[in-house]
Amino acid sequence: MARPVPRITRDTNIEFIDERSGPRLVHYGTRFREVVLPRGTRVIHPNPPMEPLGNPLAAIRYALNHPIDADPLFAQLKPGMKLTIAMDDISLPLPMMVRPDLRETILTEILKLCGDYGVDDIHLIIATALHRRMTAAEIKRMVGNKIYNEYYPDRLYNHDAEDPDGIVELGVTERGERVRINRRCVESDLLIYLNINLVPMDGGHKSVTVGLTDYPSLKSHHNPHVMHQCHSYMDPRPEKSRLAKICDRMGKIVDQHMNVFHIETAVNNNMYGGPLQFLGKPEYEWNDFDRTKLQATNALLERMPEAARRKVFEQVPSPFGLIGVHAGKTEPVHAKILETCFAQYAVPVKGQADVVVCGIPFISPYNVNAPLNPLLIQVMALGYLFNMYRGVPLVRKGGALIIYHPCHEEFDRQFHPSYVEFYHRILAHGTNSYELEQYEESFARDPDYIQMYRKGNAYHGVHPFYMWYWGDAGRAHVGEVICVAPENERVPKQLGWKTARNFEMALDMAKDVVGKSDPDITMLKIPPILITDVEP
Amino acid sequence: MKAAAFYDVDGTLVSTNVVHTYAYYAVNVPSLRDKLKRTGGLVAALPFYAVADKVGRKFFNDIFYRNYAGMTEDRLHVLGEEMFEKMIRPRLFPTMLDLIKRSTDEGYRQVIVTGALDTIVKPLSAFLGIDDWVANRLEIVDGKATGRLEPPVLAGPAKALWVRQYMKQHGLDPDLCRAYADSSSDIPMLSAVGRPCAVNPDTQLKTAAHAHDWPVLLVGDKAKD
């Protein structure tokens, strides 16, 4: 990458640090750190939030009445029919959106329609796959009081991947992947899947084939062999993501056996609400008041205990705006929504970087209302942030990834019991997923973890393995991950990372890794979400 | 089988405890005078038993089982089976029944290690398809209970000792073995295996479970949602 003249190019969201630039802000768990970047460092900012649809209700009704490659929803509703509505769980969107949640809004419309057409055998299923069961309070917040009071718990519940009678095997793909889906969904005359597409990896055939399935089916693609062939997870073209390719193959079997009406939505990246709104803007657009707010926020957060800090962030829901809604047949609907998603997230970038710098925020899809434990810090760095690209990775092969996170060795024992064992016992055997895979089955079949998944609010026993596999493509590509200022150095060590006391030290280590005294450095300003379209 | 799963009973597999068991015997004694004496005595002594349990499970057992003095052996057995059907079986935690089934399917030897009486545990073990069980036995002299327990009295460290000996005798790998219990008095037993699990733990066991990162399983009314 040729070193350009330092300047800010606001139209492309690419900024180059010069002598006038101030420090740049990165997330540091539930706190922030300001980093003084070397002159010439490229900073990639997210696109500003797209303008939300002016009348979301009208857009939803239009989508239901004018679906793509399918009959309008009202034409598919008949008295006496069996209808199931499945929806994404609490892992989407992040952070939780301001009420009413999009799912409440759309469900209300669908249920109104069902009432008009005499459909009353309706079940609402939260497509948790092997994620934890959502609590009653979380479900209530998601679907709203009215729907909750009418349907919970008998007709509104979490998917159970371990229910011995709850799964039906629809068939096996030509490559031997078993397609096993929630029985109620399979036996329904119509399955409506209600999706919120926060990142391009979500939605499409993945919604049903992953969200409503079980461990034997997930094994087909949630394994190191497949993960190593995804470049990247966020590029759902079959030739780029083997995960997406397998889900498509399995989805075709679903379509042969089930009548699926897919509703996909896209939201903008307006994730900071209330007093944190200034964090959604690049630093060079901040005014004096924004800087004062940052100082006050930092001062407050630094004085609070970790649990209280986390609570503060959890209390500020995101004012996401609906920017797209389509309904109908899974594939064309997904294609339309992906266009909208990429319009919001894609940032064209020329050239890879030797060193990429980014901060890890307090939240991931798997720790809503819980601390970000070490395995999730790993998945955020190597699973998510690394994979936020199309084309080629932002960091070059063998490059260095400098991350900011305090790295506490803290686990939520109700939500993540098997993570604790994986972290302490399995990672002691090494970090190579192909070798760790041999322990997967014992976690997946562990009777305690299964009961905690089914009756408590625990992630399935096998889930920490998936989190580790998720980081595989990044681990294989990046030369070194260097964690700046961890408060518990044992964590990065256990994850196979290096540590540095400050940014200067991290940069010196990175120079050794890439073998250059003047490496190309790029800071990735996530969140809000962005996906780099990297031209080599 | 290379591993076993060891279960406590009261509070772990079933929501009842030793006091419920004795209460059932007490209200079913044939003579009205004896019935009033035994049930009245039990109710009056409940606060005392609560304190005794805090002192230690063995101390509690020594005192509590004196209530059984004078009961005939055949009656204890007959009522034990009746009690299982009427009181224990309906109060078994479905989650634990499912767990036992999955654990059996995974090849674990199923073993009950409990301070409850053998008269109850025998029909319970038969119902659950348990491979081995050990429970406390009342000392019987001339066909009547003396109110003392046959040694070794199973409580606290004695359970852990029994579990260790069992694993050794059967060539089981302690690291792979599991144990389930609800009370802090069972911490020694839980510590004897590689994969302990606290079920509806009391405060002390909950603290220990958190300190050692043991899984905590909430069942019955304590299960969320």
**pLDDT tens, A299-312?**
999 999 999 999 99
* Angle (CA) A180 A185 A190, round 5°: 130
Residue B1 has pLDDT above 70, yes or no: no
Q: Alpha carbon of A130 to those of A197, A210, A211, A434: distances in Å?
A: 19, 9, 8, 21
- CA A90 vs. chain centroid, Å, equals 11
Verify that A27 and A109 share a domain, yes or no.
Answer: no
User: Is A268 in CB contact (< 8 Å) with chain B?
Assistant: no
Give the best residue of B97, B213, B221, B225 to mutate against chain A (max A CB count within 10 A).
B225
Indicate the Cα dihedral angle B77, B78, B82, B83, nearest 10°: -40
Q: Hey, is the C-beta of A163 within 8 angstroms of any chain B C-beta?
A: no
The beta-carbon neighbor of A445 closest among B95, B106, B225 is: B106
A196, A139: one domain: yes
Is residue A454, in this structure, part of any structural domain at all?
A: yes
Residue A447 forms contact with B (CB below 8 Å): yes
Q: What is the pLDDT of residue A2?
A: 44
Q: In the structure encoding, which two tokens stand for residue B39, read together?
A: 């049930």
Terminal Cα distance for chain A, rounded = 9
C-alpha span between A83 and A187 (Å, rounded): 9
Which DSSP category does B87 fall into?
A: I
Of B5, B95, B224, the CB nearest to A457: B224
Predicted TM-score (pTM) of the model is: 0.89
Probe site for chain B from A422, A445, A446, A448 (most B CB atoms < 10 A): A448
**Using the beta-carbon criterion (under 8 Å), do B99 and A448 form an inter-chain contact?**
yes
Q: Which residue of chain A has the CA closest to B108?
A: A447
Residues in A closer than 8 angstroms to B95, CB to CB, are 451, 454-455
Residues A239, A306 within the same domain? no
Q: Report CA-CA distances (Å) from B221 to A140, B10, B21, B215, B217.
A: 21, 15, 20, 18, 12
- pLDDT tens digits for range A204-217: 999 999 999 999 99
Residue A401 covered by a domain: yes
Give the 3-state secondary structure of residue A176: coil
Q: Does the beta carbon of A425 lie under 8 angstroms from any beta carbon of chain B?
A: no
> Domain B4-222, what architecture?
3-Layer(aba) Sandwich (3.40)
> Could B217 and A135 be called an inter-chain contact, meaning their C-beta atoms sit closer than 8 Å?
no
Q: Are residues A252 and A295 in the same domain?
A: no
The verdict on A416 and A379 lying in the same domain is yes
**CB distance B224–A454 less than 8 Å?**
no
Contact with chain A for residue B190, Cβ under 8 A: no
Pairs of residues, one from chain A and one from chain B, whose beta carbons lie less than 8 Å apart: 56
Instruction: Name the token pair of B136.
Output: 């406390």
User: How far apart (Å, rounded) are the C-alpha atoms in residues A402 and A394?
Assistant: 13
For residue A411, list chain B residues with Cβ-Cβ distance below 8 A. 213
Residue from the list A417, A445, A454 with its beta carbon closest to the beta carbon of B215 = A417
**A96 domain residue, yes or no:** yes
Are residues A202 and A295 both part of a single domain? no
Q: What is the least distance, in Å, from the CA of A135 to any CA of chain B?
A: 6
Residue A225 lies in a domain: yes
Between CA A534 and CA B97 the distance in angstroms is: 54
A31-35 and A24-29: which strand pairing?
antiparallel
Task: Dump pLDDT digits (tens) for A317-349.
Answer: 999 999 999 999 999 999 999 999 999 999 999
Q: Looking at residue B225, what is its pLDDT?
A: 45
CATH code: domain of residue A174:
3.40.50.11440
Q: Contact A448/B217, CB-based, under 8 Å?
A: yes
B224 touches chain A (CB under 8 A): yes
Give percent above pLDDT 70 in chain B.
95
> Quick one: A223 and A301 in the same domain?
no
Cis status, amide bond into A365, omega within 30 of 0: no
CATH number at residue A301: 3.90.226.30
Is the residue at A441 inside a domain? yes
Which domain, by its residues, includes A406?
8-45+282-316+351-535
Give every residue of chain A whose pLDDT is below 70, as ranges.
Answer: 1-11
Measured between CB atoms, which of B5, B95, B224 is closest to A451? Answer: B95
3-class DSSP state for residue A185?
helix
Q: Once rounded to an integer, what is the mean pLDDT over residues B70-97?
A: 88
* Interface TM-score (ipTM) > 0.90: no
Closest residue on chain B to A163 (Cα):
B98
Same domain, A359 and A482: yes
User: What chain A residue is nearest to B176 in terms of C-alpha separation?
Assistant: A442
CB contact under 8 A, A447 and B102: yes
Q: Does A528 share its domain with A465?
A: yes
Tell whether A364 and A472 lie within a shared domain: yes
Nearest to B217 among A135, A153, A452 (CB): A452
State the amino acid at position A1 in one-letter form. Answer: M
A136 vs B98, B210, B225: nearest CB: B225
B213/A414 CB distance under 8 A = no
Window B:49-88, CB contacts with A under 8 Å: none
- Could you tell me if residue A66 is inside a domain? no
Phi, psi of A360 (to 5 degrees): -100, 125
- Two structure tokens written together for A242: 């083997």
B218 in contact with A, Cβ within 8 Å: yes
Instruction: Kindly calculate the radius of gyration of chain A based on its CA atoms and give it in whole angstroms.
Output: 23
Count of CB atoms situated within 10 Å of the CB of A165:
7
CB A114 within 8 Å of CB A83? yes
Provide the domain count of chain A.
2
Residue of chain B whose Cα is closest to the Cα of A138: B225
Spatial distance between the Cα atoms of A403 and A398, rounded to a whole number of angstroms: 16
- Tell me if A34 is assigned to some domain: yes
- List chain A residues with CB under 8 Å of B102: 445, 447, 450-451
Q: In the predicted model, what is the mean pLDDT of chain B?
A: 87
B 107-126 residues inside an 8 A Cβ radius of A: 108
Beta-carbon separation of A455 and B95 below 8 A: yes
Q: Are residues A289 and A263 in the same domain?
A: no
Alpha helices in B65-175 (DSSP H): 73-83, 94-105, 118-128, 157-169
Within-domain flag for A247: yes
Q: Quick: pLDDT tens for B91-131.
A: 999 999 999 999 999 999 999 999 988 988 999 999 999 99
pLDDT digits (tens, 9 = 90+) for B149-207: 888 888 889 999 999 999 999 999 999 999 999 999 999 999 999 999 999 999 999 99
Out of A133, A445, A448, whose CB is closest to B215? A448
Residue in the structure block whose two tokens are 């301070």: B115
Cα–Cα dist A517/A318, whole Å: 42
Considering the domain architecture, whether residues A157 and A22 belong to the same structural domain is answered as no
H or E element at residue A354: strand A353-361
